[in-house]
Amino acid sequence: MHRHSTGQPVDTSVDTTALHRARQARKRGAATQASGCATGTNQCGRRTGQSIYASAITEEITPLAIKDVTAILRTDHKLRDGEDDDFSIRSQEEISSMMTSTMSMLTLLLACVAGISLVVGGIGIMNIMYVSVTERTREIGLRMSVGARGVDILSQFLIEAILISVTGGVIGMLLGIAASLAVKTLAGWPISVQAWTVLLSFVLCTITGVFFGWYPAKKAANLDPIEAIRYE
């Protein structure tokens, strides 16, 4: 458990008394076991602010320990019935839950950014393929006039769209890995690149290329050979 005082400053002697009472309560069967030290110091004697660290004897009785410590601190802070606490008590589970919630929000935010990036990149691929089909209209007409089928034209432009998408994905992946290694080296954070993320990147790039390249490729496959050859 981790207590933060939010009211007026509490001196060392008062909180030392609080810890002493916590130890006495433990002897009577209460669920607290002091594992920290006086306000303003940690277990190593360094200044950490107005905090007290305590631990329950067992995990199951943590709520009872919180209740006991709350009562002790309210008494030491001379709080009357009905007055709000001028301190806060947080268990390790609450802190862990807050961290998990924060990480989930960051993950969701990054997923939204990645989704928007895929859509923007896909629109770019579609525009590139439209320009390619328009500029190569006569080439498409010539190929179809000598026996190329619509499915051949469709496959050609889909493959081109996939190649553009995968190339962009590989470049982005390499930049991401380089940035991760730089952060790991400079900040010392434990960052790792997992194989499944690389595989997922290739799959998403392929799907993006097929999805946004389908309509231009289908348009090219449906061109009339005679009209395509006459196109200026």
pLDDT tens sequence across 122-160? 999 999 999 999 999 999 999 988 888 989 999 999 999
Is the CB of residue 97 less than 8 Å from the CB of residue 125? Answer: no
Residue 109, pLDDT score: 94
Find the mean pLDDT for residues 173-196: 85
Residue 163, pLDDT score: 93
∠ at Cα 104 (100, 109), nearest 5°?
A: 150
Instruction: Write down how long the chain is.
Output: 232
Whether pLDDT at 42 is above 80? no
Find the mean pLDDT for residues 78-86: 76
- Tell me the whole-structure pTM to 2 decimals: 0.60
**Residue 4: φ, ψ to 5°:** -115, 130
Question: What residues are paired with 89 via a beta bridge?
Answer: 3
What pairing do the DSSP bridges indicate for beta strands 33-34 and 87-90? unpaired
Highest mean pLDDT among 3-12, 18-27, 44-53: 44-53
Which of 26, 90, 93 minimizes the C-alpha distance to 59? 93
Residue 125, pLDDT score: 92
Whether pLDDT at 44 is above 80? no
Find the mean pLDDT for residues 194-206: 86
- Cross-sheet strand order for the sheet of 33-34: 33-34, 51-55, 2-5, 87-90
Lowest mean pLDDT among 44-48, 85-89, 135-139: 44-48
Q: In the chain, what percentage of residues exceed pLDDT 70?
A: 76
Whether pLDDT at 4 is above 60? no
Separation CA 74–CA 87 (nearest Å):
9
Which of 96, 165, 88 minimizes the C-alpha distance to 125? 165
Separation CA 47–CA 50 (nearest Å):
9
- Mean of all residue pLDDT scores within the chain: 76
Question: What residues are paired with 87 via a beta bridge?
Answer: 5
Is the CB of residue 5 less than 8 Å from the CB of residue 50? Answer: yes
Whether pLDDT at 13 is above 50? no
Whether pLDDT at 48 is above 80? no
Residue 97, pLDDT score: 84
Is the CB of residue 219 less than 8 Å from the CB of residue 136? Answer: no
Find the mean pLDDT for residues 105-112: 91
Calculate the alpha carbon distances from 105 to 38, 63, 108, 208 in Å. 35, 28, 5, 25
Q: CA neighbours within 13 Å on the CB side: how many for 95? A: 9
Residue 155, pLDDT score: 92
